[in-house]
Structure 1
C-alpha cells in the first residue's frame, strides 16, 4: 500500500470583516429603509408580514404597549364595540384585570420611564380607573 498525503488544510481568517460591516452600514445610511433591508421573499424566506393584506406595524415601544392594554380595558368596559358583531359588551372583570396589569407595569418600570412615558401611564391609568368606577356603579 502506498501512503497518500492528504492535502494540507488551511485556515482562512477574514480579518477585514469589521471594516466590511462598517462600509455596509455607511452604504445603507443613504438608502431608504425599504431598500436597505431586502424583502423576505427575495431571500426565499417567509414572514408573517408577507401575507396578503398584512399592513405595516407601528414601531414597538412602551406607549404602544400601554395603548394596547388600555384599548382592551376600554373594550371590556363596553366603550368600544366588538368589530365582529358591532355590539359593545361589558366584562368588568376583564377590564379590572387589564387595569391591574397596567398598574403592575407602572410599578415595575418606576424610575425607568422618561417624562412622556410616565405621563402617558399616569393619564391612562387615571382614565381607566374613572371609567371602571362609572361602569361598576351603573
Structure 2
C-alpha cells in the first residue's frame, strides 16, 4: 500500500472516560513527563572577603621653586661673576688712583651690614634735634634675619663670630623694645594731653 493510501489512525491516550471511570484499554504505564527535570542550580560562589582599604598616602607638598642648577652651571656662573667683579674693581681703581682694594666679604661684614641697617630703621641715624623716623616693620625683619642666621649657623661659627652675632642680636632687640616703649608712652601722652595731642617734636614717629 502506498504512503498516500495508508489509513489515518487516531489513538486515544486518555486514561479515564468522561464519567471519570478508568478506561479498560488505557496504557497502564505511567505517563512520561513531558518536561525534563530542571537542572540543579550551582552552589553559590563563596563570598570574597573584601580587602581593607589602603591607607591614604600623604600628598607631596607642591614646590614652586625652580630646579636647582647643575654643578657645571654653578661653577660657570661663579667664574663669570668673579671675572666681572674683578673688571669692576679695576675700573674703580683706574678712576680713583690710590683707592684701596675693597675687602673681601666675610661673616663679620655680613652681620655688621644687617646690624647697621636695623639701627637706621630704628632711627639711629637721625641727626640730633630732628624727629626720628622709625621703620618698625623693616627693623623687625632685619632683626629676624640675624635670628635666622644665628639658628642656621649654630655650631659652625668660631667663638669670635658667635660672640659678634649674639651681641648684635642683643643690642638690636633691646633697641627695638626701647623704641616701641617710647612710642607707646608718646601715644599715651597724646591721648591725655590738654593741648590737643600735638606731637612731640623730638619723639620718634613711625614711618610704616
TM-score normalised by L of structure 1: 0.59
Q: Choose the corresponding residue for 1:92, options 136, 148, 159.
A: 136
- Mapped partners of 2:165, 2:139: distance in 1: 16
1:69 matched to 2:69:
no
Alpha-carbon contact 2:118-2:139 (below 8 Å) kept = yes
- Mapped partners of 2:172, 2:121: distance in 1: 11
Alignment-derived partner of residue 46 in structure 1: 87
Q: What runs of 5+ residues in structure 1 fail to find an aligned partner?
A: 1-39
* CA drift at 1:59: 2.6
* CA drift at 1:123: 0.5
Alpha-carbon contact 2:89-2:101 (below 8 Å) kept = no
The residue matched to 1:113 in structure 2 has which SS?
coil
1:56 matched to 2:101:
yes
Q: Choose the corresponding residue for 1:107, options 151, 155, 161.
A: 151
**Structural RMSD (CA):** 2.6
Alignment-derived partner of residue 135 in structure 1: 179
Q: In the superposition, relative to structure 1, how do residues 48 and 87 fare at CA in structure 2: closer, same or farther (>3 Å)?
A: farther
* CA drift at 1:87: 7.8
Q: Is the radius of gyration larger for structure 1 or structure 2?
A: 2
Alpha-carbon contact 1:49-1:55 (below 8 Å) kept = no
1:118 matched to 2:162:
yes
How many residues matched? 92
Alpha-carbon contact 1:73-1:94 (below 8 Å) kept = yes
Q: What runs of 5+ residues in structure 2 fail to find an aligned partner?
A: 1-82, 183-208
* CA drift at 1:56: 3.2
